[in-house]
Structure formats: C-alpha cells, structure tokens
Amino acid sequence: MKDYSDILTQIERAEISPFVWTRLQQKLENKSTSKISINASRAMVVSLMLLLVLNMFALNRTQKQDDSMINFAESMNLFPQNSIYGE
C-alpha cells in the first residue's frame, strides 16, 4: 500500500485566474458588509420592550387575582383543614 504523503506530493497545485479571484474577493467583502438598518433595530428593541411590559403586567395581574381569591376563601372559611383535630 502506498504512503499517502507520496500521493499528495504528486498532486499539482491549481492556479486560479485573476478575474475569478477578484470576483470571489468582492463577493466575500459584500457579504461581510451587510448590516441591519437603524429603523429595523429600533423596531426590534421597541417590540421586545413592549413584550416585556405586557408580560410584567400579566404576571402582576395574575398575582393580584390569586391574592383576592385567597382573601375570599379565608373570609368564607373555605380552606380545607388537613389536621385531624380541626385546630
């Protein structure tokens, strides 16, 4: 079996034409310069802030409803008693 290094030394290096090389470089430069516009980034920030505020509002409202239900249950003595002697 031949050694792989012998096979690799037989391979000739390919030359690329200058025209293809410059086009390839230009495409790579164009890809790296694409950016998100300022208006799009502002819209994303505003959307995320609005979502955060709505979530906080919903969580706060749920907590208040839970507190009012607990107060109602306490006033009506609706809590189950888990003790044997009803202390």
Q: Which tens digits make up the pLDDT trace of 22-79?
A: 998 888 887 765 678 889 999 999 999 999 999 998 888 776 666 777 777 777 776 6
Compute the 3-state secondary structure of the chain and give helix, strand, coil in percent, each to the nearest 5: 70, 0, 30
Phi-psi region of 22 (alpha: psi -120 to 50; beta: other; left: phi over 0): alpha
The 3-state DSSP class for residue 81 equals: coil
pTM of the model as a whole:
0.40
- Give the pLDDT score at 83: 62
Those residues whose C-beta lies under 8 Å from the C-beta of residue 73, and which sit 6 or more positions away, are 79
